[in-house]
Chain A
Amino acid sequence: MDGETATGTESWEDCMLAPVDRLRLERADSPTPGLVEGTEPGAGQRSAMFVQAQSFEDLTSEAEEEAQRSAAEENPEGPDEGEYKVQNHDFSSDSRTKEEDVSSEAWRSHKKHVFVLSEAGKPIYTRYGTEEALSSTMGVMMALVSFVEAEKNIIRSIHADGCKVVFLTKSPLVLVGVSRTSQSDKELLRELQYIYYQIVSLLTLTQLNHIFQNKQNYDLRRLLAGSEYLTDNLLHRLERDPGLLLSAVTCLPLASCSRDAVSSSLQAAKAKNLVFSILLAGDRLVTLIRKKDQFLHHIDLHLVLNLVGSSSSFREGEGWTPICLPKFNTSGFFHAHISYLEPASELCLILVSTDREDFFNMSDCKQRFLERLSKRCAYQSLKEALKCPTYPVSQVGIPDLRHFLYKSKSSGLYTSPEFPDVYRSGQEQERLMGLYQDLHSCLHHPTRPLRSFYRCGETENLLAWVTSGFELYLCFSPLASKASAVAAVNKLLKWIRKEEDRLFILSPLTY
């Protein structure tokens, strides 16, 4: 049993797109030497973070601004502070409407609260309401954490009927989730980890540590103001996107010859400091080329997807933004060139470079890619494929099957049909996702993992199956029998095998 348990209990963090040990080795030589200190994202402003680099002047002014801000940050109590607040004010007003009475029933009954605070108990983020109004609540949270810590113990969670509070201490931050969902503690922790990485991706851990070492009492909101919508969006994704649950991404269905053509065009557009190039169609991966020996962690990829999907500003031109990929290296920034292939297109190209001065090189890469792409008429077939980015479950031809998730463990990719009418509404979609999350946490129980799980209820029947090679989650009509469920698994696996070169990226390329 031991061997089996080992595969079954592998934590979600380990399911990366690359072997762990290899990645650790690469962490040693950071891809961004010299960028660790004094560089920070344009977190203070939404527009500054995603520079619309139309001209060279735009770029340099951005750099100056950064320099200024880093100076200010080293001396947070300096005279610049007043100026800061004024700057930030503009953005907080338009970015979110958070005014909510935090003692009201409406506020309490939100399905999931997320709070981020510093170890000094200072509010950094709240999903609902304002941080100011919640500062005493967060103070209590921190008090609980430190009280238990003082006993050389670690607080994990509090449980009440229908409500649980989960704590995650990631020095120098503390994250707290309050949930009315049926999700397991582990699922909630996973979500908090994502939020933690989201914040690290904006600042780097080195900088985060540096800030709080200098001033324990620092109000991190000053640096993060204007970026809260990224966290909001990420939380929304966590409720809807099976990819975050499965630690995987999904691909745009595309004939393999077309995908290979697109991939090789992208591969040909290489540059010295280019580490990853990612072509997306909405939230779906078209292709991903990486530098040989460099691997992208699925969490990092989801953070990139969240960044791109959360902002419309990239549509207006070529964006150039620093981003830390925390699973790759928590201490340094990459620089991402983000642009859509055409203004109205869903196709978004992300070129990740190690050099902050690389904007024009990246821009040039994009041009070369576009030229090649149109020459090989792959662009046309790609655009065709965009018209049907999903498929209905009826294509599989199993009458009682409503929906499924299939993840290939080795590639870290998954496929899933569109939601059928029964689950079309947002609420129903979240309910189905909740059911999948339950199955997922049962199967991946830290000490009692399961091989398979079948649940027959009043609204649907569910079947989940984990092997060393794949994970499969199926949702059937409540009238489906067990025999039909067993038959469906075989039929579905055959269908996926038949369609695999369209649904997955079978031959990923490297530079």
Chain B
Amino acid sequence: MLMISPKMASGVQEKQYTPCLLSFFIYNPTFGPREGEEEKKILFYHPSAVEKNEKIRNVGLCEAIVQFTRTFCPTKPAKSLHTQKNRQFFFEPEENFWMVMVVRNPMIEKPNKDGKPPTIEYQEEEILDTVYGAVVRQCYCMYKLFNSTFGRAMEAGGVELLIQKLEKFFYRYLQTLHLQSCDLLDVFGGISFFPLDKMTYLKIQSFVNQVEERLSLIKYTAFLYNDQLIWSGLEQDDMRILYKYLTTSLFPRHSEPELAGRDSPLRPEVAGNLLHYGRFLTGPTNLKDPEAKFRFPKIFISAVDGYEELHLIVYKAMSAAACFMISASVELTRQFCEQLDSLVGPQLTLLASDICEQFTINRRISGPEKEPQFKFIYFNHMNLAEKSTIHMRKTASVCLTSVHPDLMKILGDINCDFARVDEDEEIIVKAMTDYWVVGKKSDQRELYVILNQKNANLIEVNEEVKRLCATQFNNIFFLD
């Protein structure tokens, strides 16, 4: 991404470039051990247009770095390489399979006079290892969600199949990586939970039970409202990556029809169905269509004996979404989908309006919303719960934050600090811009607060954060 900086007073225009993906490759050093066969090691390489020898050279460097690091830490592999121009992130998700992501450092291009080529200044301290390391791990998890492990592809169809699968998945997935807007939330990879009163929560639970009872093919169910999770029958780590897929990819792609209103041509299926607002986000777009196909994406989740392959049905009514997962060995028919539509559609529509109502009441009780003096991010490692008042609504393309990127990076720095020592800690810093940033780590929970009270002192900041903890996290103990 290119941004023109406002420093134009001198008439010299500086161009500022945000970090971007230079290359992304996957290799296995055991596949081409002999000289002259190096190309066989490479399973995937983006951009594919790169000349063969250069690919081999770059993979060679990674191998050398990994090998060299073993001289000093045989058990802990190299995770990143910093150079003046870029950073490379290494991840070995399965034995001998290495994923490498190369990110160019942000840079400033300063034009020179007299037709000389512009000076490029790399900003080497801007990229946080923890953030982009997490992005690479996420890439693998997402691949695994839809394809299972590399090892399984190898078993099923050898290197050729694996190469094919990698090509198919990453070609599209890499285009959805928005490296310039990655931050602390990527490190956490948490799930945002929808706060709900007991009654409504029980209603949802009984809805889930009823559907699972009536449609016994359904193995697992997840329920979301407003892109936030309410109920999930999946293991945490599976839900985490599924949640990531739903909220950053599937939902944003389908959000337009709801916003478009009833008469919009964008939602033709509504015309024939006035009983409810339910519709399939995966599978058939219109049940009435005689040509409709009843194919759903397949996902892989962890099971006792390795993995389990499932159909993923995502069904949405207004802001409520239900995910139903059914064993992949079952073939899904028109009849089943119609049954599901007629059972779930009306109920989900009702639930959605119930939750909406409840939500507005609660908001009214908690008082009028005014711009608070603070913004925060909370994460709980135990249940992966995350909450951020810093991030605006996530869209498919960008993740907007309401604070200066430098402050976000300070949060990242504090998070690195916390990760180093396994004990409770609190850090309070004052940035050069006079913002206060507070980080608290207690047990498995982390809280980060940015305060815009420039004239406050340490004691006042502490009081402010105490108040915040009391109102937002009244049942959570934080080290004082």
Contacts and interface: CB of A to CB of B under 8 A. Distances in A.
Nearest to A134: B71
Nearest to B420: A182
Q: Which of A153, A454, A458 has the most CB of B within 10 A?
A: A454
A454 B423 contact: no
B431 A486 contact: no
A58 interface: no
A161 B79 contact: yes
B434 A451 contact: yes
B432 A483 contact: no
A: contact size bracket = 35 or more
Q: Which of B74, B424, B462 has the most CB of A within 10 A?
A: B462
Q: Which of A159, A438, A449, A450 has the most CB of B within 10 A?
A: A159
A158 B65 contact: yes
Given A163-B72, A445-B125, A445-B413, A453 B79 contact: no
Contact of A162 (B76, B410, B430): B76
Given A144-B65, A451-B434, 9 more contacts: A154-B84, A154-B85, A160-B72, A185-B82, A447-B406, A448-B431, A450-B410, A458-B423, A482-B428
Contacts of A485: 458
A156 B432 contact: no
B475 to A, nearest CB: 22
Contacts of B479: 456
A1 interface: yes
Nearest to A483: B459
A452 to B, nearest CB: 5
Interface in A1-24: 1, 4-5, 8
A1 B83 contact: no
Contact of B425 (A148, A456, A483): A456
B87 to A, nearest CB: 9
Given A155-B83, A450-B430, A482-B462, A457 B423 contact: yes
B72 A148 contact: no
Contact of A108 (B74, B81, B426, B427): B74
A397 interface: no
Contacts of A147: 61, 64
B409 A448 contact: yes
Contacts of A34: none
Nearest to A143: B64
A455 B420 CA distance: 14
A214 interface: no
B68 interface: yes
Interface string B55-80: 00000010011001101111011111
A148 B68 contact: no
B421 A157 contact: no
Q: Is the interface of B mostly helix, strand, loop or mixed?
A: mixed
Contact of B72 (A4, A8, A113): A113
B129 interface: yes
B72 A178 contact: yes
Contacts of B427: 453-456
Contacts of B247: none
B431 A450 contact: yes
Nearest to A161: B76
B126 interface: yes
A163 B64 contact: no
Contacts of A455: 417, 425-428
Nearest to B439: A455
A343 interface: no
Contacts of B72: 108, 113, 160, 163, 165, 178
Interface residues of B, number: 49
Contacts of A156: 82-84, 124
B346 to A, nearest CB: 52
A447 B123 contact: yes
Nearest to B71: A137
Q: Which 7 A-B pairs have the closest CB atoms?
A: A154-B84, A156-B82, A456-B426, A161-B76, A451-B430, A454-B428, A452-B430
Contacts of B455: none
23 contacts: A1-B433, A108-B73, A144-B61, A144-B64, A144-B65, A144-B68, A153-B83, A153-B84, A157-B81, A158-B68, A159-B78, A159-B79, A162-B73, A163-B72, A182-B420, A448-B125, A452-B458, A454-B426, A455-B425, A455-B426, A457-B423, A458-B424, A483-B459
B81 A155 contact: yes
B458 A482 contact: yes
A452 B436 CA distance: 9
A155 B77 CA distance: 18
Interface in A482-496: 482-483, 485-486
B386 to A, nearest CB: 23
Interface of A: 1, 4-5, 8, 108, 113, 137, 140-141, 143-144, 147-148, 153-163, 165, 178, 182, 185, 438, 442, 445-458, 482-483, 485-486
Contacts of A157: 81-82
Nearest to A182: B420
A158 B409 contact: no
A205 to B, nearest CB: 23
B80 A159 contact: yes
Contacts of A140: 64, 68, 71
B221 interface: no
Contacts of B86: 153
B472 interface: no
Interface string B81-96: 1111110000000000
Interface string B115-158: 00000000111100100000000000000000000000000000
Nearest to A451: B430
Given A159-B79, A163-B76, A482-B458, A1 B432 contact: yes
A1 B86 CA distance: 27
A160 B69 contact: yes
Contacts of A161: 73, 76, 79
B121 to A, nearest CB: 12
A455 B439 CA distance: 9
A354 B65 CA distance: 47
B61 A148 contact: yes
A121 to B, nearest CB: 13
Interface in B400-444: 406, 409-410, 413, 417, 420-421, 423-434
Contacts of A442: 413, 417, 429
Contacts of A143: 64
B79 A451 contact: no
B360 interface: no
Contact of A448 (B78, B129, B410): B410
Contacts of B457: 486
A31 B438 CA distance: 52
Contacts of A450: 410, 429-432
Q: Which of B85, B425, B431 has the most CB of A within 10 A?
A: B431
A483 B80 CA distance: 41
Contacts of B85: 153-154
B431 to A, nearest CB: 6
Q: Which of A163, A446, A448, A457 has the most CB of B within 10 A?
A: A448
A153 B76 CA distance: 26
B432 A486 contact: no
Given A160-B69, A165-B72, A486 B458 contact: yes
A182 B48 CA distance: 38
Contacts of A447: 123, 125-126, 406
B77 A160 contact: yes
Nearest to A155: B83
A445 B437 CA distance: 15
A448 B76 contact: no
Contacts of B129: 159
B80 A158 contact: yes
Contacts of A108: 71-74
Contacts of B124: 156
A470 to B, nearest CB: 16
A137 B72 CA distance: 10
Q: Which of B72, B76, B427 has the most CB of A within 10 A?
A: B72
Given A160-B73, A456-B426, A5 B432 contact: yes
